[in-house]
């Protein structure tokens, strides 16, 4: 593992994913290949020297070289996310360091194991990096994404995920809407609970390795329930995003 240093990235493009979520593509002078699931730290420095720092998961796969996509949700009272959403335009520079973390990562050695991904809201960001990389390397392991969102409008990467599910018979997208479901929706329409998780686990022929990411309370509840349902604790990996909303 290399020593990491702060570097100045240039904002190459900005995409509005949902009303409260933007993806920033950053060109890095010192890009190093990352593992899907890793994050970068981003640091803002005010003129008076005050600094604020946050961690943002990488959405792009390592095959996208020289740059990284960071997908950022606008958090109420979030000093860093508000600045990124309202104060940053293409061409601006941002101070980042990474890639960071070797725990919440999907490694190529796992490509034959069944995979369960569970996301709440913007918790889908590190998981899309895993899915994009999994597609790039042509893995055929049974994979399911259980994705909890408030409404259709707030489902980040929805079009891409639906397309992925159409193209890949081994990948299943399971959405649950916690508020407004689209007209005619016959899928899950509530917060993730024990019944949903039992149902999802039953779709696997053998026990999956799992990654759970999203708001802290969702992550802890899902991890505890999966352990109660018999998944070994060392096959459940978690990353808490704090008070982000679903």
Name the minimum Å distance from CB 137 to another protein: 17
Minimum CB distance to another protein smaller for 78 or for 114: 78
| Binding-site ranges for another protein (CB under 8 A) | 1, 3-5, 39, 41, 55, 97-98, 100-104, 107, 109, 215-217, 237-243
Name the minimum Å distance from CB 91 to another protein: 26
Name the minimum Å distance from CB 48 to another protein: 13
Minimum CB distance to another protein smaller for 5 or for 167: 5
> Which two three-digit tokens encode residue 2?
């290399």
Minimum CB distance to another protein smaller for 1 or for 205: 1
The answer, yes or no, to whether the previous bond of 99 is cis (omega within 30 of 0) is yes
Minimum CB distance to another protein smaller for 3 or for 29: 3
Name the minimum Å distance from CB 113 to another protein: 12
d(CA 60, CA 133): 8
In the β-sheet with 67-73, what is the strand arrangement from edge to edge? 51-57, 39-45, 93-100, 7-18, 21-27, 67-73
Q: Taking Cα atoms as reference points, which of 79, 58, 67, 64 lies closest to residue 13?
A: 67
Q: Taking Cα atoms as reference points, which of 207, 205, 216, 212 lies closest to residue 245?
A: 216
């Amino acid at each position: 593992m290399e020593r990491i240093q702060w570097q100045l990235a240039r904002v190459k493009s900005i995409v509005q994913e949902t009303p409260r979520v933007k993806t920033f593509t950053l060109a890095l002078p010192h890009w190093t290949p990352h593992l899907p699931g890793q994050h970068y730290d981003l640091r803002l420095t005010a003129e008076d020297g005050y600094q604020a720092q946050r961690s943002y998961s990488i959405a792009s796969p390592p095959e996208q070289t020289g740059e990284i996509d960071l997908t950022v949700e606008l958090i109420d009272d979030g000093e860093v996310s508000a600045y990124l959403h309202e104060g940053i335009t293409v061409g601006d520079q941002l101070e980042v360091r990474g890639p960071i973390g070797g725990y919440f990562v999907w490694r190529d050695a796992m490509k034959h194991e069944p995979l369960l991904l569970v996301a709440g809201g913007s918790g889908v960001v590190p998981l899309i990096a895993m899915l994009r990389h999994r597609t790039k390397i042509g893995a055929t392991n049974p994979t399911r994404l259980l994705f909890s969102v408030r409404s259709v409008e707030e489902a980040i990467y929805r079009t891409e995920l639906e397309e992925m599910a159409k193209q890949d018979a081994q990948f299943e997208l399971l959405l649950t809407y916690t508020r407004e479901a689209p007209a005619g929706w016959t899928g899950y329409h509530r917060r993730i609970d024990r019944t949903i998780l039992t149902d999802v686990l039953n779709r696997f022929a053998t026990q999956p390795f799992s990654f759970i990411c999203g708001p802290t309370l969702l992550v802890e509840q899902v991890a505890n329930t999966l352990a109660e349902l018999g998944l070994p604790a060392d096959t459940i990996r978690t990353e808490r995003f704090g008070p982000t909303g679903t």
